[in-house]
Amino acid sequence: MGKLVKLALFVVAFGIALGLLPFTIGGLLGWLIFKKVANNRVKYGLLTVVAILILFFGSAWVAALNSSSKQPITPTKTIPTFSPSPTSTPVPTDVPKKELYKVTKVIDGDTINVEINGKNETIRLIGIDSPETVDPRKPVQCYGKEASDKAKEVLTDKSVSLEADPTQGERDKYNRLLRFVFLEDGTNFNKLMINEGYAHEYTYQSNPYKYQEDFKNAETAAREGKKGLWADNVCITPTPIKQTTAPTQTQFVPVVQPTQSSSTTTGGGNYTCNCSKTCTQIASCDEAYFQLNQCGCKARDADSDGVPCESLCR
Catalytically annotated residues: 124, 132, 176
Handedness of CA 283, 284, 285, 288 (dihedral sign): negative
Q: Residue 117 has what DSSP assignment? A: T
Helices (H), the chain: 2-18, 21-36, 41-69, 144-155, 189-195, 212-224, 285-289
Q: Counting Cβ atoms within 10 Å, is residue 265 exposed (0-12), middle (13-18) or buried (19+)?
A: exposed
d(CA 297, CA 225): 38
User: How open is the CA angle 208-133-176, to the nearest 5 degrees?
Assistant: 45
**What is the tally of helices (H) and strands (E) in the chain?**
7, 9
Angle (CA) 90 93 98, round 5°: 120
Q: Give the distance from CA 150 to its chain's centroid.
A: 24
